[in-house]
């Protein structure tokens, strides 16, 4: 398959994909209260299956956010999430490190593409690259990530295997703002589960992923609605968001 730096071809949904074949992207501003609010632009970065991308898209439609997904950027042309995004009618931009002589040039191209797409918020939905500090600074307070552990515990990769090896009894997921460090940004929301004695790495990963699919859209919606206040390394939630978080399934 030919590699592309700016693949924006929209394809039909693959047959049998019940969860996306009827999805329609919102095109008009959504009334919230008595006012019409301009649609905020969400850009998603992915590297894999795109399940968090799908959960965000579905919540955006179901809950009628005053926002819309405008595009997806991937560092892997073969990522299954690219086909998923095209099936939802989203433009897909593939920026592969293999197309550049070094990491610096890749990051430069990635940063330029993000800026060109002009998002109000960037969501890392399984994007397996560390963003250059220049990108993070340019979009400070507007880049969100979800991590499969209860940060600050278990940053980095292989969190489920490491959780089991450490014998933790409580595990979960964290939504946070992205900073220049690895999984060190201000925490927005967390949800947890009890680790069962019969859990293995795959079963634990599946259970945490189910939490992610609820937690990430909720936290993103709070950001879009202006219900978060960033104070240094701490995120303040309004009362309604706190109540919603308490009711979040674990």
Instruction: Give per-residue pLDDT as tens, 35-86.
Output: 345 899 999 999 999 999 999 999 999 999 999 999 999 999 999 999 999 9
Burial class of 222 by CB neighbour count within 10 A (0 to 12, 13 to 18, 19+): buried
Residue 10: predicted pLDDT: 34
Is residue 240's pLDDT more than 60? yes
Which residues does 7 contact at the CB level (< 8 Å), separation at least 6?
A: 77, 82, 92, 93, 94
What's the rounded Cα separation, in Å, for the pair 141 and 186? 9
Q: What is the mean pLDDT of residues 6-12?
A: 37
pLDDT in tens, 175-209: 999 999 999 999 999 999 999 999 999 999 999 99
For all residues of the chain together, what is the average pLDDT?
A: 88
For the domain made up of 146-250, give the CATH fold.
Rossmann fold (3.40.50)
Enumerate the domain spans of the chain: 1-12+39-139, 146-250
Same-fold call for 1-12+39-139 versus 146-250: yes
Fill in the DSSP letter of residue 100.
S
Residue 147 annotated among the catalytic residues of the structure: yes
Overall average pLDDT of the 217-227 stretch:
97
* Class of the CATH-defined domain 1-12+39-139: alpha beta
148 pLDDT exceeds 80? yes
The predicted pLDDT at position 20 comes to 33
Q: Exactly one of 147, 160, 171, 223 is catalytic; which is it? A: 147
- Predicted pLDDT at 248: 78
The angle subtended at Cα 128 by Cα 125 and Cα 130, nearest 5°, is 105
* Beta strands 170-177; 143-147: pairing state: antiparallel
């Amino acid at each position: 398959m030919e590699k592309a730096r700016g693949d924006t071809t929209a394809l039909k949904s693959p047959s049998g994909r019940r969860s996306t074949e009827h999805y329609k992207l919102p095109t008009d501003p959504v009334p919230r209260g008595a006012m019409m609010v301009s649609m905020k632009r969400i850009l998603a970065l992915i590297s894999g299956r795109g399940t968090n991308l799908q959960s965000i898209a579905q919540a955006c439609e179901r809950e009628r956010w005053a926002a819309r997904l405008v595009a997806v950027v991937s560092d892997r042309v073969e990522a299954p999430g690219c086909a998923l995004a095209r099936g939802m009618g989203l433009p897909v931009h593939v920026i592969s490190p293999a197309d550049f002589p070094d990491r610096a040039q890749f990051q430069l191209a990635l940063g330029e593409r993000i800026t060109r797409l002009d998002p109000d918020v960037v969501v890392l939905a399984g994007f397996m690259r560390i963003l250059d500090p220049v990108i993070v600074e340019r979009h400070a307070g507007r880049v969100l990530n979800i991590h499969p552990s209860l940060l600050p515990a278990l940053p980095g990769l292989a969190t489920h295997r490491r959780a089991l090896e450490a014998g933790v009894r409580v595990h979960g997921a964290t939504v946070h703002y992205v900073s220049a460090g690895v999984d060190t940004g201000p925490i927005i929301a967390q949800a947890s589960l009890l680790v069962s004695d019969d859990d293995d790495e795959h079963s634990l990963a599946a259970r945490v992923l189910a939490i992610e699919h609820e937690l990430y859209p909720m936290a993103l919606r709070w950001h879009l609605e202006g219900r978060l206040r960033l104070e240094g390394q701490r995120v303040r939630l309004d009362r309604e968001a706190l109540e919603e978080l308490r009711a979040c399934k674990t």
